[in-house]
Amino acid sequence: MFDNETIWTAIGFLGQALFGARFLVQWAVSERERRSVIPLAFWFLSIGGGLVMLTYAIWLEAYPIILGQVSGLAVYLRNLYFVYRERRQAAVAAD
């Protein structure tokens, strides 16, 4: 029904949609809060979009894009670590 290239193109669009959705989520939350906010969903969408785009870039054998996605994923994961570490420290301090 679908050829290999069509499926991979759809995967690329999915990755871009996930990655783009993070900005919409960040914008909506910031508007609601009336200040700049980076919600937790931003990092999960970044990781999801980055992983899908990395997979697509590997299929394309697009090494500059692969390098960019790997680098971005490291930053997103590190930021997620900071978020959870801060929450854990706040919970300990509250006890």
Q: pLDDT at position 23, please?
A: 94
Q: List the structure tokens of 69.
A: 């996605």
pTM here is 0.88
What does the pLDDT look like over 30-80, one tens digit per residue? 999 999 999 999 999 999 999 999 999 999 999 999 999 999 999 999 999
Distances in Å between the Cα of 73 and the Cα atoms of 4, 23, 62, 66, 92 are 26, 16, 16, 11, 29
Digit-coded pLDDT (tens) for 23-38: 999 999 999 999 999 9
Query: What are the structural domain ranges in the chain?
Result: 4-94
